[in-house]
């Protein structure tokens, strides 16, 4: 190619023979500075040959365990041309750091200690976030009110801590036994009715219990002599009478038309309100049966005796589930009166021991195995007189009597902490964490017994030594809108 610049035979290599201009200018080689020659030095490469052969490095590429999204240069034979201009650009963008441009330096490893500290900080922020308290929980109801809503005088009640002298019916009537007399009060009309009086030969009234929702006005009562009677509170007359003077009285509980009664000799007798005699007798205990409780579905009966043994009786099979193997027995170290079946999980049973046990055990009776223990244990070092599961949330209520001193060397720190302030109180525990969320000093003397309202929200407690009956609003129902009735109901009256 011929032009005024001369004959350029190689379009890539600008090495011309003689270039003449008008007016003449100095030789082009003399005008090129050292910097300009360095800029075009890359043109002297034979790129044709380099592009013709595949880009295979002379040495194998090193595999570096780096971040898959951050490119790490490998050691290759490709030329790396860096000029002062590229240095200025790299410096302007902060790319002269060896950690980025070094082809051989491995990526910096993130400190394990720093990583663990970040995880610990994130976890602490997650767990420290306060969760909203459910409006159904006892923390939002009893914990916020921290006081009873109704108090009744109860002079002359039985001081036996294993008696069950109080019950709450589905007709919203509270029945109370005062030694030889039985009264009930309609909580809506506040009318007090004297229902029955026993004779000296019958003994004092030890236990009472209302029938279920189908027959809410039937009240069963048992005397210390062993006699069991069923009274019709609506008609104020005796419905049926079962005489059994050979066996003393323990706890009792209804299951439809069937009434289970614990006996002093260790037996449990079953009565049907439609028949005049007992229909079955459960043999398994050797001491007085204090606690008797049917499951919600009526399939199983839990019983606890004075020696701390708990038995489960299958109603359909008419046999004890805990009698086949001695190791499968559910055991406390003290008498067991407090029993409660969960209304929202089949087979979940809570049992409480009196002195010297003072623990709550939670069992899964559907998965009992030889030598298996309770699922959860709550040590309280205080007599546990009654237990109630909430039907609206996963919480367990317990009432307590007197505490006893335990040597500090024999008490685990967690157990000692859980026993603080439980004496003569009403406590609520969450499940399955078993943490105590509410603790209210219910009475100035031991709480002997308690009963739950039909709606599952309120609880009546009784203290025979204090001669007082109190009602506490513990939970709220899902459709409960009356949140402030406690201030209106707070009053003091007498049930006699």
pLDDT for residue 153 is more than 70: yes
42 is a domain residue: no
Task: Look at residue 442 and tell me whether its pLDDT is greater than 80.
Answer: yes
State how many domains the chain has.
1
29 pLDDT exceeds 50? no
- Give the residue-averaged pLDDT of 333-356: 96
Residue 96 has what pLDDT?
Answer: 58
Instruction: Determine, yes or no, domain membership for 222.
Output: yes
- Positive or negative: CA dihedral 10, 16, 17, 18: positive
Beta strand 458-463 with 449-452 is antiparallel
More confident residue, 238 or 4: 238
Rounded-to-10 torsion of CA 482, 487, 489, 492: 160
In a domain, 312, yes or no: yes
Nearest to 223 by CA among 207, 236, 238: 207
Phi/psi-derived region of residue 266, left when phi > 0, alpha when psi is between -120 and 50, beta in every other case: left
Residue 401: its pLDDT value, please? 95
Which tens digit of pLDDT belongs to each residue from 113-142?
676 677 777 777 666 656 688 999 999 999
In this structure, what CATH number is given to the domain that contains residue 438? 2.130.10.10
Q: For residues 306 and 313, what is the distance between their CA atoms, to the nearest angstrom?
A: 18
Q: Is the pLDDT of residue 269 over 80?
A: yes
How much of the chain, in percent, has pLDDT values that exceed 90? 55
- Alpha helix segments (H runs only) across 110-230: 112-128, 142-145
Is 330 a member of any domain? yes
Write the burial class of residue 426 (CB in 10 Å: 0-12 exposed, 13-18 middle, 19+ buried): buried
Average pLDDT for residues 391-396, to the nearest whole number? 96
Q: What's the domain range around 333?
A: 142-494
Interacting residues of 236 by C-beta distance below 8 A, sequence separation 6+: 193, 195
Q: Is the pLDDT of residue 44 over 50?
A: no
For residue 109, what pLDDT is reported?
Answer: 53
Q: What is the pLDDT of residue 118?
A: 75
For 457-473, the pLDDT digits (tens) are 999 999 999 999 999 99
How does residue 196 score in pLDDT terms, banded at 50, 70 and 90? very high
CA separation for the pair 315, 301 (Å, rounded): 7
pLDDT tier for residue 276 given thresholds of 50, 70 and 90 = confident
Is residue 451 in some structural domain?
yes
Per-residue pLDDT reduced to its tens digit, 229-260: 999 999 999 999 987 756 789 999 999 999 99
Residue 118 lies in a domain: no
162 contacts: CB under 8 Å, gap ≥ 6: 250, 288, 290, 335, 337, 354
* Measured CA distances, 152 to 160, 176, 492, 496 (Å): 19, 11, 6, 9
46 lies in a domain? Answer: no
Confidence (pTM): 0.71
The answer to whether position 322 is within a domain reads: yes
Query: Tens digit of pLDDT for each residue in 277-325?
Result: 899 999 989 999 999 999 999 999 999 999 999 999 999 888 888 876 5
* Three-class SS of 163-198: CECEEECCCCEEEEEECCEEEEEECCCCCEEEEEEC
pLDDT at position 496 over 80: no
């Amino acid at each position: 190619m011929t032009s005024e610049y001369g004959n350029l035979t190689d379009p890539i290599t600008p090495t011309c023979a003689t270039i003449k201009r008008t007016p003449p200018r100095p030789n082009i080689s003399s005008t090129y500075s050292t910097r300009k020659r360095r800029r075009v030095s890359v043109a002297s490469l034979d790129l044709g040959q380099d592009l013709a052969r595949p880009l295979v490095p002379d040495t194998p590429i090193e595999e570096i365990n780096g971040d898959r999204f951050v490119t790490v240069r490998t050691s290759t034979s490709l030329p790396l041309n860096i000029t002062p201009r590229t240095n200025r650009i790299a410096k302007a963008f902060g790319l002269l750091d060896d950690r980025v441009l070094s082809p051989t330096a491995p990526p910096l490893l993130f400190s394990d200690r720093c990583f663990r500290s970040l995880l610990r900080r994130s976890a602490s922020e997650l767990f420290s976030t306060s969760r909203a308290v459910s409006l159904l929980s006892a923390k939002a109801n009893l914990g916020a009110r921290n006081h009873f809503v109704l108090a009744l005088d109860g002079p002359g009640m039985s001081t036996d801590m294993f008696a069950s002298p109080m019950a709450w019916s589905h007709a919203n009537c509270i029945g109370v036994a005062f030694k030889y007399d039985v009264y009930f009060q309609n909580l809506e009309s506040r009318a007090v009715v004297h229902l029955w009086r026993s004779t000296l030969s019958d003994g004092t009234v030890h236990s009472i219990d209302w029938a279920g929702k189908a027959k809410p006005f039937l009240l069963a009562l048992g005397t210390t002599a062993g006699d069991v009677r069923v009274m019709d509170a609506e008609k104020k007359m005796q419905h049926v009478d079962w005489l059994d003077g050979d066996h003393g009285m323990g706890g009792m509980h209804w299951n439809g038309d069937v009434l289970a009664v614990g006996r002093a000799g260790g037996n449990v007798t079953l009565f049907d309100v439609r028949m005049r005699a007992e229909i079955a007798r459960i043999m398994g205990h050797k001491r007085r049966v204090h606690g008797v409780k049917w499951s919600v579905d009526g399939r199983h009966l839990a019983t606890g005796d004075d020696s701390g043994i708990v038995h489960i009786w299958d109603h359909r099979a008419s046999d004890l589930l805990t009698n086949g193997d001695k190791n499968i027995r559910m055991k406390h170290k003290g008498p067991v009166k407090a029993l409660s079946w969960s209304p929202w999980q089949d087979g979940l049973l809570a049992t409480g021991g009196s002195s010297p046990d003072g623990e709550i055990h939670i069992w899964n009776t559907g998965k009992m195995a030889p030598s298996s223990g309770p699922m959860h244990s709550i040590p309280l070092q205080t007599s546990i007189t009654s237990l109630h599961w909430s039907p609206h949330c996963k919480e367990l209520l317990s009432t307590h009597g007197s505490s006893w001193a335990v040597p500090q060397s024999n008490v685990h720190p967690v157990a000692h902490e859980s026993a603080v302030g439980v004496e003569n109180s009403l406590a609520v525990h969450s499940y399955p964490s078993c943490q105590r969320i509410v603790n209210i000093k219910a009475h100035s003397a031991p709480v002997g017994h308690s009963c739950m309202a039909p709606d599952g929200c309120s609880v009546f407690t009784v203290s025979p030594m204090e001669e007082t009956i109190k009602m506490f609003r513990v939970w709220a129902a899902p459709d409960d809108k009356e949140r402030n009735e406690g201030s209106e109901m707070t009053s003091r009256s007498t049930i006699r």
